[in-house]
Amino acid sequence: MLRADVFCRVIDNYGDIGVTYRLIRQLCREHDWSIRLWVDQLASFKKLEPLVDYRVARQSINGIDVIRWDDRAPDLDPADVTIASFSCDLPASYLAKLHASKSLWINLDYLSAEDWVEGCHGLPSLRSDGLSSYFFFPGFTEKTGGLIREENLISQRDHWWTDRNEQFNLLCALGIDQNTSLAWRDQTANQPFIVSLFCYPQANVTGLINALATRTQPSLLLVPDGVATYLQSGRQGQCQIHRIPFVTQPDYDKILWTADLNFVRGEDSLVRAIWAGKPMIWQIYPQDEGTHFIKLDAWIKKVTPGDRVTELLRAWNGHGDAAELEESVNLALSPESFARWRKAMFEFCTQQTRTPDLASALIKFCELSASTSQKG
């Protein structure tokens, strides 16, 4: 059994801890790792895992030793593996102890589809104080660390797709009225086109709603607590807006599996939308001088969803005004374009299942590093 210290600073509300928690939960459940999770914002963590008590400095959650990372955190010896989520800085006291330990220090970096990632993945980084760490990049090829994918995830999704009653129960649990939920379950003529929305404040949600409001098919827009807070539940034309509670990670997966179209942001929800195998629009975390468009274009190159979807992806990420976004939505949702989009996303999902998942790639890297150290 490998022991690991995993450090996570919450910057993007839920994305950082979301990725971290999914990974360490898989390492514990499927690979029998013993993990201490150091996290600085337990309140954000609690939104994803209701078992967390943000008032408690140290607690056990699903077999994971959760430590509140602040000035009063315990001074503990490093574990076999030290993982800095999103390459966060480690505590000075912990760094001091790393000098005398054999802990393998891994900087788990941000996900990117850019070509340079393959060349940097797994490279060592020698610090001025003599300590070494290794870059570990999630990605979309076998030359990267891959994506988080639990062992039975795809089979669970496929089973969910066949069970309209479970989907009906989910919609009812989210507070959707029974008539709308029944129309979805029974696939009647007024079955809604379900759209899940998870976006940053900069997103042009008004343009999206205007487009959905004028479609022939009724739409059901699911908006989680804390997202586009100015929106209220109600109807605009053919678009029914429904605010839903912030749900646990397993329930969020089910929402993505159920929806016809998923709007996601950041990294964690992007990866989960990929495994949903459904049409999706990704909003990248905005960066100065529009450098996030480089990352977006690299992602588009990997997925190749078609020209109309490409235009919508760029419009959703701030390239254009509200009118252009509305037009892009209408064009991307045309029957021919949407069918091609749906096929492209399912094929991309299937392609990604053929590459090693992130947890397996991480374990292989640790084993290889241990073997190299022994030979040295």
Query: Which tens digit of pLDDT belongs to each residue from 186-220?
Result: 999 999 999 999 999 999 999 999 999 999 999 99
Dihedral (Cα; 264, 269, 272, 276), 10-degree rounding:
-20
**pLDDT above 70 (res 376):** no
Taking the C-alpha atoms of residue 89 and residue 94, their distance in angstroms, rounded to an integer, is 10
Cβ atoms of 185 and 165 within 8 Å: the answer is yes
- Amino acid 341 reads W
**pLDDT above 90 (res 371):** no
**pLDDT above 60 (res 110):** yes
Taking the C-alpha atoms of residue 274 and residue 357, their distance in angstroms, rounded to an integer, is 13
Give the CA diameter of the chain.
Answer: 69
Taking the C-alpha atoms of residue 293 and residue 313, their distance in angstroms, rounded to an integer, is 10
> In Å, how far are 237, 281, 374 from 180, measured between CA atoms?
15, 24, 62
- Dump pLDDT digits (tens) for 287-346: 877 788 899 999 999 999 999 999 999 999 988 788 899 999 999 999 999 999 999 999
Catalytic residue, from 267, 311, 326, 357: name it: 267
What percent of the chain stands above pLDDT 90? 91
Nearest to 240 by CA among 189, 187, 197, 283: 197
Q: Is the dihedral of CA 233, 238, 201, 38 positive or negative?
A: positive
The strand pairing partners of 34, in sequence order, are 3
Mean pLDDT (whole number) for 258-265: 98
What is the pLDDT, as a whole number, of residue 61?
97
- Amino acid 241 reads I
69 by DSSP, 3-state: which? coil
Q: Which two tokens stand for residue 233?
A: 């539940």
Active site residue 16: yes
- Dump pLDDT digits (tens) for 46-91: 999 999 999 999 999 999 999 999 999 999 999 999 999 999 999 9
What is the pLDDT, as a whole number, of residue 319?
80
CA atoms within 13 A of residue 107's CA, in its CB half-sphere: 19
Angle at 320 between CA 327 and CA 347, to 5 degrees: 65
What's the CATH fold of domain 153-352?
A: Rossmann fold (3.40.50)
What is the pLDDT, as a whole number, of residue 320?
77
Q: How confident is the model at residue 373 (pLDDT cuts 50, 70, 90)?
A: low
What is the pLDDT, as a whole number, of residue 161?
98
Domain range summary for the chain, segments of one domain joined by +: 3-148+356-375, 153-352
CA atoms within 13 A of residue 215's CA, in its CB half-sphere: 24
What is the pLDDT, as a whole number, of residue 285?
85
What is the pLDDT, as a whole number, of residue 15?
81
Q: What is the residue-wise DSSP string for 279-343?
A: -EEEEPPP-GGGTHHHHHHHHHHHH---HHHHHHHHHHTTSS-HHHHHHHHHHHTSHHHHHHHHH
Active site residue 347: no
- Dump pLDDT digits (tens) for 9-52: 998 668 899 999 999 999 999 999 999 999 999 999 999 999 99
What is the pLDDT, as a whole number, of residue 183?
96
Q: Is the dihedral of CA 223, 86, 110, 316 positive or negative?
A: positive
What percent of the chain stands above pLDDT 70? 98
Q: How confident is the model at residue 1 (pLDDT cuts 50, 70, 90)?
A: confident
Torsions phi, psi of 149, nearest 5? -150, 110
Binning the chain into helix, strand and coil, the percentages to the nearest 5 are: 45, 20, 40
**pLDDT above 70 (res 372):** no
Collect all residues with Cβ–Cβ distance below 8 Å to 343 and sequence separation of at least 6: none
Catalytic residue, from 16, 40, 260, 326: name it: 16
